[in-house]
Every structure is written in C-alpha cells, then in structure tokens.
Structure 1
C-alpha cells in the first residue's frame, strides 16, 4: 500500500506529467471504484489539470471546479502511459480501474495520460469527484500531517496522551489521529525508536520524544529518497530501504536477530525482538501478549 512518502512523490511526478494539460476524457472502467455520482466523469472533458496535491494518503487532482480524489488502497497504483491507449476488448475486466487521456501539448502527445489500476481480486481503490476535498469522508476525518511544520512534539504528545492505553502501532496507523502513516512505515518508525508495537500510547516524556524523532527521521528520509522518482520506480525504492517490514525471517540490520511477525485478520506486522521487545517474542494471534 502506498503511504505518505510514496504519495508525496507521486504528487511531484504527476505535476510534471499532467499539470497544465487539457483532458480529452476521463473513463472509469471499474464502476465499483467510483464512489460519487453528483459529478459525472464526462464533466472533466476539456478541463485543465490545474493542481495536484495530497491529503494524507489521498491524491487530489483539481480540474476546473472539480477535485478528482484517489485513494489507492492496498493494491492500487497510477501508471504513466506515453501513447494513446489500445481499445479494450474486455471493458470492466483486468486491473484497469480508470483512465485519464490527455488532449496533448508540448510535454505530452495526444492520447498519453494516466492509467489507474488495482491488482488482485479484493477491490478497495476509491475515486471520488467532488467540489471540495472535505466532501470525501476519509479526508474530512484526517488527523494532522506529520510533514507539516505544525506537527510538533507537543502536538504529538497530546495525541499519545489522548490515545491512552491504545497500542502505539494502531495509533500510528490511525488516519484520524495522524495522516499518512500505514502498516509499513509504522513498523519502520517503531523499529527506529526501539519500541514494542504493543506499548501503550500514553508513554513517558522521554519515550514520546524518542518516538517523535524516529517518526520524523523515518518519514523525512523516505520522502527525500522518493522525491524526483517516477511512479514506476517508487515501489522498488520503498521495498529496498525497509529494514523490518516485509523482512520476516531475515536478520535485523541493526542487531542480527531474526525478524519476527504477528499476523492479524487483515494485516501483518514485523518487528525485531532484540531491538524492540527486550528479546521477548510476541504471540502470533489477535489478542496476543508477550510470551512468558
């Protein structure tokens, strides 16, 4: 799943590729992906891509008075297409969810554009056409952005205190509390902070400062590596620099211990026992506690 650093880099890539261009058409192939009905996709025909931005993990392409909000979910992605698309013989089939076709200009030939795709059979990608971003419920309830200058240690401590005994892993992933961090980067942040995923959020001042520093460093470094890359390179770059997430069974790059994992119903996280839990292994079940 693309998280804040990848979506942040996608914004830059899309600005370079489609910013200022006129839309020939916007076709939605996967009807289930379109979450709004008040503005039809045909309303974008002839409009110009005026701005590209993000809200947490949501992409925002503004065309005239309409915002196209895209949440890529677990398996969605955006691919640049340098030439006119071939006619599809199986509309609504395959990974293609929507297609943006450009009218052409100095930086992009006619017919080039973006393909919004989603792999797998579980379809969660969401596309909304709205007048204001806050009309999308997921954006309306977003917490502060950790890259924002207003996201200070004091603001972070307030979030942790209000979360109480909630496990810190879940707090970092809760988009209503902090926008943009998902399963992968929460694993990386907790590893950098040498902190258990099950530690209560309402922690001491020193621990909160250590976690805040790990959060800022992890995200800032990931953004710095991703900015300027093309969309096609972002997944590979992310995977290459993850230290614990997705590394189950491999040695920890810090201490050499074997990276372990905990599997829940809809997600899996990885951690290092030596670096994060004092050598103790977390039981691999939903209501797990530290093994005796």
Structure 2
C-alpha cells in the first residue's frame, strides 16, 4: 500500500508535470471506484490543474477550484505518460479505473488510476474542497507538520490505550503511516509493536518521535524526483525489517521475524525490539509482550 513517503513523491511529481495543464477528458471505467455524484466528474473537463496536494495518503488535484481526489488503497497506483494514449479500455475490464487526458505545455499527456487484484478499494472523489471527502475530514495530524511536535505526540500516546503499532496505523490519530512504515519506525525506535502506547517511558517516547521523523524524512528524500513507476521499488529497497522475514537485521544480524494476522502481517527484530523474545503469532492463544 502506498504510504506517506510514496504519496508525497507522487504529489511532487504531479505538481511538477501537471501544473497549468488543461484537463481535456475524464473517463471513469470502474464506476464503483467513484464515490461522489455531485459535482459530476465531467465538470473537471476544460479546467486547468493548479497544483497537487497531499492529505495523509490522499492525493488531490486542484482544477480551478474543483478537486479530483483519490486514495490508492492497497493495490492502486497511478500510471503517467506523455503523448496520446492508446485505445480506451472497456469499462469494467482490466485494472484501469480512471483515465484523464491532458494538454500540457509540452504536448498531450495522460494518466490512469489502476488497481490490481480482486478486492477493489481504490476511491475517487470530485469535490468542491478536499475536506468534503470523509476520509480527509477525519484525518489526524500530519506527522511531518512543523506544528506537530513532541508535546502533541505525547498527548496522543497518553490518550491511547492500545498497542503502539495500532496507534501509528490509525489515520484518525496520525495521518499517512501504514503497515510498512510503522514496522520501520518501531524498529528504528527499538520498541515492540505490542508495547502499550500509554505505557511508554519518557525516553521511549522521545526515541519513537525522533524515529518517526527520521524514517519518514529519509523515505521522502529517497522518493524525491522519481517517476511513479519507480516509487514502489524505492520503497522496498529502503525497508530494513518490513517484508524482510527470514533475512538478517541490518543493525544486529538477528533474524527478522513475522507475526501474521488474518489479512496482514508485521515484521520485527527480536534483538533490537523485544530483548530477544519472540512474539507469538496472533493465531495462537497468547502474546509475548
């Protein structure tokens, strides 16, 4: 799933490529992905893209005050190309959910929103303002916002009675972090994913906040300047524990372990994060905290 750093890289790319471009046509090929009825998506046609914005994991294109907003969910992505596109795919066939044709200063261009797999969760909105999208209206603070400091972070930790892994992934508490980067942040902070958020000591809180900023900041730098088709590979190559089950921890050399859930999993290093203890799988009868 694209998370804050990849979405930030995508927004930077779109802002550079599309600012000033005229939207010529908008074609919806997966009607279930379109979550709004009014304004009509055809009202985007003839408008110019002013800027691209990020709200957590949401991307918003400002088209003269009307916004095309999308959330790529778990398996969605954006495919961009210059020139004229090929034949428009048939509605309901293939991975393409939306196609937008544009006239840029450099000539014609287009992008598709696509989604792989059978579970279709990609979401597209056309709204008068981004906050009209329920998922954006309910977002917590952006972790890289200068106004979000250690004090604000500590308040969130104190108010949360669950595990720290869940807090980091909860978009209503902190915007933009998902399964992958929460694993990376907790590894850098040397904390168990099952540690209780409101039970962390002062030094652990400081370490966690510093790791949050550093991990996300480094990933954003790695994504800068990359086209959409390179962002996913950049994400994978930068991971130290997420998706590395069975490999050696780059910090201590211990074997990276995994805990599986119904539809996801987490990875961690026992030596770095749990004092050598192995965390029990969710499918067993108990946890080792």
User: TM-score by structure 1 length?
Assistant: 0.96
Distance in 2 (alpha carbons) for counterparts of 1:271 and 1:93: 39
Shift of 1:18: 1.2
Q: Which of 126, 137, 140 is equivalent to 2:134?
A: 137
Comparing 166-175 with 259-268, greater Cα deviation is found at 259-268
1:174-222 Cα shifts (integer Å, max 9, x gaps): 0000000000000000000010000000111111001001111101111
Residue 83 of structure 1 is matched in structure 2 by: 83
Residue 35 of structure 2 is matched in structure 1 by: 35
Residue 55 of structure 2 is matched in structure 1 by: 55
Q: Which of 257, 260, 284 is equivalent to 2:257?
A: 260
1:195 maps onto 2:195 in alignment = no
Q: Which runs of 5+ in 1 are unaligned?
A: none
1:48-72 Cα shifts (integer Å, max 9, x gaps): 0011101011001011231111100
Q: Which runs of 5+ in 2 are unaligned?
A: none
Q: Flag as ranges the 4+ runs of structure 1 deviating above 4 A.
A: none
Asked if 2 retains the 8 angstrom alpha-carbon contact of 1:282 and 1:288, the reply is no
3-state SS in 2 of match to 1:244: coil
Residue 64 of structure 1 is matched in structure 2 by: 64
Q: Which of 149, 166, 172 is equivalent to 2:168?
A: 172
1:239-274 Cα shifts (integer Å, max 9, x gaps): 001000000111111111111111111211100111
Residue 289 of structure 1 is matched in structure 2 by: 287
Asked if 1 retains the 8 angstrom alpha-carbon contact of 2:21 and 2:105, the reply is no
Q: Which of 120, 125, 130 is equivalent to 1:123?
A: 120
User: Residues 200, 21 of structure 1: CA spacing in aligned structure 2 closer, same or farther, 3 A cutoff?
Assistant: same
Asked if 2 retains the 8 angstrom alpha-carbon contact of 1:33 and 1:124, the reply is yes
1:244 maps onto 2:273 in alignment = no
User: TM-score by structure 2 length?
Assistant: 0.96
1:159-183 Cα shifts (integer Å, max 9, x gaps): 000003x100000000000000000
3-state SS in 2 of match to 1:161: helix
